[in-house]
Every structure is written in structure tokens, then in C-alpha cells.
């Protein structure tokens, strides 16, 4: 979560991505048919839907590769398709489609953010291709020479730049080995090293660096603190599962799953996935801290409140995704949910540090302990879901969609458990002395200085290019889709939370890709609704109206 100060930056309007749809081929009977969606700024295809191939008994991979080979003129990636892609994942979705996700490659090197997701139906018919590809890389002169820089040199450049930006050298907790990628720098393809640096001091960060592999120039650097990388995991102590009682941050009574042995009661829940673990940082800035241990299995002290809520709300978020979307933890494979409370002193933030949740206690004025908000916890854990599905780049429009998806599901989880639900974000833990205040309003983003229409989007460089600010556009669309209303003269018929959550979950997990912008987001959401309810359904009409209402056409 970011402070309200960050959320009230001034807005400006400028040109950005827009898109047009055109049916390029529609044939009767059993012939193929296609509808192509083109991004008007990049002039690149970002979505094709229809009956794209004839029925086949070939593997989904072969069906997709054959289709892409036929579309060389459209995508301009070369005819040797198998050499230009790497299969990232293949699995059947809940509707029975075989979902194949492909990473674009160039001479064995991944193209940063260039991923497509495809769907093949049970008859072996390719029905969709979603995502943009980098065209004509063979004509990019910067790629004629390979990397001139060593990995160690690139890492040193990133560390030096980070030290300059922070004002002091960070205490690195985790540093991934630099990966060579092809990076499009304002349309020019370059070899670059992708480097990720995680640290907690002097302030928490998870920085993505892209260093020119020839010149050593810093091409890109941004904080992606929300991104989730599965940890190595922790081991639960031996003991017996138990049920404890306790009081949360707001003094409300709760029951929670614990583990007891001769030492006492641990905040360990072994009933969900591979476990939920809650730790105490004891006001230090180290994670995970000490596994929470209580003497009598009753968590009623004031100091216990932050831990009680972190533990219970992590479990509820797990249950929401499992019971509503059949997703086993954020990664779909039962990943452990690890939380640390009482982080730092008067720390006004909560974040996913790359492998676990971390919660500050707040200063008592701007925030109270941030784990006291169910929507806050569901928001942060949804970032982990996003990272293991669409992997939306945490910058500019893709980052704004990333933030909004977390707001949407943070709110939907709050409604699912009837936890004083509303369309406000962080209202339970933000400015306790101000009644009705919140970090963001999805019903009216302008209350916090955020845009409620694409024409009013922020186009500056602060806030990673407006990831929290421009989330207001999607937030308003989601609110209108669920509740209905008239906005900028466009009437939207509400379809309720249950259908809204199904549509946005399918959009996130099946169609969005790392570089999705608002244009691609719109067509992806329309397709998700089409899959679920039919092309001529009232639900699809409402999705279109909701995006029209916020100026995403």
C-alpha cells in the first residue's frame, strides 16, 4: 500500500495506447474465422479470437505453432516459429480449454515482457491468441552484436545506481543472477541484463534493473515491491493442530488455527495448502523474525492483535481463492503464506517483499497496524496471484492494471466474508481519527485525486508511471460492472459481485500478459466474459459499457 500523499499527485492527459477491432476474415459453415484486435499506437496485433484453425488431433503446441507460422506477415517474427518461442506453461482451465503460454525468444534469448497466451478447445481448435510480440527483431541493428558486458559488471552498475538513488548502499537480502534479455527501448531492441535486487534497508525495495549489455547504460529501474517469488519455505515445528481464540486490531473476537506443543501455541495453520505462518519482527527491520509463540493459546493481548488479523485474514484470502476460483494458494500449488507483523517502528506500510507479507504498526495517526484490514491483506496477496499468472510489469499502464486487480479482489474478498464490506480500500486501518476516510475509493476515485476516466490519466514518471494513480480507471470500471450506474453519460447495468469476480479472475489468469495496457485489458475482459456467458450475453454488454464509461474503447 502507498501513502495518500502518493495517491494525490496531479494528473495530466496525453496520448496513450488505444485499439481498434476488425474482423479480417469470417467464413460460414466450418471454415476458419478471425477477429483481430490491433493496438493503434504500436500497430501490433494484441488479440485474435474466433475459430482460428480447423479441428485437429495434434498437440496444442503443434496447433499453435502451425498457426503462428501461417501468420508470419501479421506478427513479423519469422517463419522458424519453434525457435522463436519457449513454452512457459500448459494447463487446462476451468472451462476445458487448453491454455498454452509462450515466451518470445530471439536467438535463444527471451524478449522482456513479450508473452502470448493461447487457448485450444477440446476439438483441437485454436480459439484465441492474446498478447503483443516484438516484430522484425532480425532487422534491429543493435542486436547484431552480442553482450559486451559481463554479468558481474552489469550487477555492479545496478548496485551503484541503486546506492545513488537511495543515498546509501542497501543491505541486499536477495539478488538474482543477471539474465540476458532482449529489451525494447522506445522501439529499439537491445540486449540487456535483467537484474532484481531485494532489500529491507534503508527502506524496503524489490528493484527491477535493465542494464544495456553493450554500453552499460541503465535503461530502466523501478521498484516492484509487490512482485512475488516463491520462497524456499519454512518448516513447521512438531505439534498438534489446535483452534485458538484471540482479538484483532479493532478488538473483534476471532478464532484461529494454531499448532501446540510443550513450548506453547504457535501461529501455524497446517490446514491450508502448505501452511500459513505468522512471525513477530519485534519492531526490528528483519524478516521473517520469530515464529509467533503464545503460552496459553489465547491471543487477547493488545500486542497480539496485529498477528491475529494477519493470520486469520491470510487464511480467509486463501479460502476465497480456493473456494471461489479453485486456486490453491497464490501460485495454484499450495504455496506457504508467510506473514511478519510489528515490522519496524511506526512503519506506515504493508508489502509483499518477494516471498512473504510484511506489516507495519503504523504511527497511530496515519495508520494503525496495517494487518487489521482484510482488504489490505487480500490486496497484497493478490499481487502474488498476479505475479504467478499474468506477471504484469509493475510500471505504467500494466502496473496500473496490476494495482487495480489487487484493489478489485481486496474488495471482493471483503464482500465474500461480509467484513463490513464497501468499495473503499484500507478504510479500517487508515487515519483512525477521520471517519469514512480511505486510501482509495473505487466508487469515486476522484475523492483521492485519482482519475475515473482514461482521458484524465496521469502520464508522468512518479509512482512508477502512475501505477496507483491510474488504477482508478480500472477501479471505476469494476465498480460500475458490479453495481451499475451512469458515468460520463454511459449507462452500465450492474451484474453483481459473483459474476464480476469470475470475469476479472479469468481475465487475469487467462488473457493478460506482462505488457498489457488498457486497450488490451478491455478486449481481454470482454473475451473472458464471452467465454463465461456468451458473446451476446448481457454480461458482455455490461463489460463493454463499463470500459466505455471510463473512456477505454
Residue 218 region, left (φ>0) first, then alpha (ψ -120 to 50), else beta?
beta
pLDDT one-digit tens code per residue, 364-396: 999 999 999 999 999 999 999 999 999 999 999
Active-site positions read 380, 468
Mean pLDDT for the chain?
92
> pTM higher than 0.95, yes or no?
no
Closest CA to 375 of 302, 433, 440: 440
Residue 367 region, left (φ>0) first, then alpha (ψ -120 to 50), else beta?
beta
- Cross-strand partners of 25: 34
pLDDT one-digit tens code per residue, 140-160: 999 999 999 999 999 999 999
Q: How far apart are the C-alpha atoms of 493 and 267, rounded to whole Å?
A: 44
| 3-state SS, residue 360 | strand
Q: Is the pLDDT of residue 1 over 50?
A: no
Domains and CATH numbers, the chain: 4-15+395-549 (1.10.390.10), 19-134 (no CATH), 151-213 (no CATH), 240-387 (3.10.170.10)
Q: Is the pLDDT of residue 115 over 70?
A: yes
Confidence of residue 6 (pLDDT cuts 50, 70, 90): very low
Q: How far apart are the C-alpha atoms of 542 and 538, rounded to whole Å?
A: 6
CB of 44 within 8 A of CB of 38? yes
Report pLDDT for 354.
73
Amino acid at each position: 500500500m502507498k501513502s495518500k500523499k502518493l495517491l494525490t499527485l496531479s494528473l495530466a492527459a496525453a496520448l496513450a495506447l488505444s485499439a481498434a477491432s476488425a474482423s479480417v476474415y469470417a467464413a460460414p459453415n466450418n471454415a476458419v474465422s478471425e477477429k483481430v484486435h490491433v493496438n493503434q499506437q504500436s500497430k501490433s496485433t494484441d488479440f485474435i479470437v474466433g475459430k482460428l484453425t480447423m479441428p485437429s488431433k495434434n498437440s496444442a503446441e503443434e496447433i499453435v505453432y502451425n498457426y503462428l507460422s501461417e501468420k508470419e506477415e501479421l506478427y513479423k517474427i519469422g517463419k522458424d516459429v519453434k525457435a522463436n518461442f519457449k513454452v512457459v506453461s500448459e494447463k487446462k482451465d476451468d472451462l476445458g480449454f487448453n491454455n498454452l503460454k509462450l515466451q518470445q525468444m530471439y536467438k535463444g534469448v527471451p524478449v522482456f515482457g513479450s508473452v502470448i497466451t493461447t487457448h485450444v478447445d477440446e476439438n483441437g481448435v485454436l480459439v484465441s491468441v492474446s498478447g503483443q510480440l516484438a516484430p522484425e527483431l532480425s532487422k534491429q541493428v543493435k542486436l547484431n552484436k552480442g553482450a559486451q558486458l559481463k554479468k558481474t559488471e552489469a550487477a555492479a552498475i545496478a548496485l551503484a545506481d541503486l546506492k545513488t538513488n537511495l543515498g546509501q548502499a542497501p543491505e541486499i537480502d536477495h539478488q538474482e543472477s543477471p539474465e540476458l534479455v532482449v529489451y525494447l527501448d522506445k522501439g529499439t531492441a537491445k540486449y540487456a541484463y535483467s537484474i532484481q535486487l531485494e532489500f529491507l534497508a534503508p527502506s524496503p525495495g524489490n528493484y527491477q534493473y535493465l542494464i544495456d549489455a553493450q554500453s552499460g547504460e541503465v535503461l530502466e529501474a523501478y521498484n516492484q515491491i509487490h512482485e512475488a517469488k516463491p520462497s524456499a519455505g519454512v518448516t513447521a515445528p512438531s505439534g498438534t493442530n489446535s483452534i485458538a481464540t484471540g482479538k484483532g486490531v479493532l478488538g473483534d473476537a476471532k478464532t484461529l488455527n494454531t499448532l501446540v506443543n510443550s513450548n506453547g501455541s504457535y501461529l501455524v495453520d497446517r490446514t491450508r495448502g502448505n501452511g500459513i505462518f505468522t512471525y513477530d519482527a519485534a519492531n526490528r527491520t528483519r524478516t521473517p523474525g520469530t515464529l509467533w509463540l503464545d503460552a496459553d493459546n489465547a491471543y487477547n493481548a493488545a500486542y497480539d492483535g496485529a498477528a491475529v488479523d494477519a493470520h486469520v485474514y491470510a487464511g480467509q484470502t486463501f479460502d476465497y481463492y480456493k473456494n471461489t476460483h479453485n486456486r490453491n494458494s497464490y501460485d495454484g500449488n499450495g504455496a506457504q503464506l508467510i506473514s511478519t507483523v510489528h515490522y519496524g517502528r511506526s512503519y506506515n506500510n504493508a508489502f509483499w517483499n518477494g516471498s512473504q507479507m510484511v506489516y507495519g504498526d503504523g504511527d497511530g495517526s496515519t495508520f494503525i497496524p496495517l494487518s487489521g484490514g482484510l482488504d489490505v491483506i487480500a490486496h497484497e496477496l493478490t499481487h502474488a496471484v498476479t505475479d504467478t499468472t499474468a506477471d504484469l510489469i509493475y510500471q505504467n499502464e500494466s502496473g496500473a492494471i496490476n494495482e487495480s486487480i489487487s484493489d478489485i479482489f481486496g474488495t471482493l474478498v471483503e464482500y465474500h466474508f461480509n467484513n463490513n464490506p464497501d468499495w473503499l480500500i484500507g478504510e479500517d486501518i487508515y487515519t483512525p481519527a477521520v471517519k469514512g476516510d480511505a486510501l482509495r475509493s473505487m466508487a469515486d476515485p476522484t475523492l483521492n485525486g485519482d482519475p475515473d476516466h482514461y482521458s484524465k490519466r496521469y502520464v508522468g514518471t512518479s509512482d512508477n508511471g502512475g501505477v496507483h494513480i491510474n488504477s482508478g480507471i480500472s477501479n471505476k470500471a469494476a465498480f460500475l460492472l458490479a453495481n451499475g450506474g451512469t458515468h460520463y453519460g454511459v449507462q452500465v447495468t450492474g451484474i453483481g459481485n459473483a459474476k464480476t469476480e469470475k470475469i476479472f479472475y479469468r481475465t487475469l489468469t487467462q488473457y493478460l500478459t506482462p505488457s498489457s495496457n488498457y486497450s488490451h485489458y478491455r478486449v481481454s475482459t470482454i473475451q473472458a466474459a464471452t467465454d463465461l456467458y456468451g458473446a451476446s450475453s448481457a454480461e458482455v454488454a455490461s463489460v463493454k459499457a463499463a470500459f466505455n464509461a471510463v473512456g477505454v474503447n
